[in-house]
Structure 1
């Protein structure tokens, strides 16, 4: 029993340490997304998020994003769990996923909807 507890504690420390390495990249992408124009924001989205937007707005991702009230504030907090991250801006919450070329925004315009759930204006499934 004691070995299992120690192993779990070591695993948590190792995962947390690795996650901390990605925080600057995650915060940079989130900050870039918050301050970018709609076309650049589209470039920072996952393919699934772009496809979902273009399904709803056939004129394209930039037009769809321009019409949404997405946040433009600075980064308040960021957390990384392996290949996923959450960044809270002063006026929005973003979820990011790690892709082969770096971090991408998987969901934006997210508001808490109770018990750890979020409703997001932009998200790909």
Structure 2
């Protein structure tokens, strides 16, 4: 019961970050990414170029699940994964779509 209460307490912060990412411009989106994701994008074409590949999504939250330091937020047209860091919640994957029985396929992620 306590774990569920903690997850519920984290939900507003998780959703705020997900919605800001979904509606943000590339420069703002990079600041919402986990450091490992920024590093992976910088190693390719750069963070701003990478996040530009994720179309803006509606800010209507369809569902949120929080498991300790990890979370998933479903928006119309996108699913985002987040992790709690020492500086707050950060996006670890975006532009994600279910892939049948396999893991989600994401446009932006660390690896």
TM-score using structure 1 length: 0.83
Q: Which protein has the bigger helix share?
A: 1
Contact in 2 for aligned 1:71/1:109 (Cα 8 Å): no
SS in 1 for 2:97: strand
Aligned to 1:14: 2
Q: Gapped runs of 5+ residues in structure 2?
A: none
Aligned to 2:105: 119
Pick from 81, 86, 98: which aligns with 2:67? 81
Q: CA RMSD in A?
A: 1.2
Structure 1 residues 77 and 46: alpha-carbon distance in aligned structure 2, compared to 1, 3 A threshold: same
- How many aligned positions are there? 110
1: distance between equivalents of 2:12 and 2:105? 26
Would you identify which runs of 4 or more consecutive aligned residues in structure 1 move more than 2 Å? none
Alignment of 1:30 with 2:18, yes or no, is: yes
Larger Rg: 1
Aligned to 2:38: 50
Displacement of 1:114: 2.0
Residue deviations 1:33-72 (CA, integer Å, cap 9, x gap): 0111001000000011111111121xx2112222x13342
Aligned to 1:6: none
Q: Gapped runs of 5+ residues in structure 1?
A: 1-12
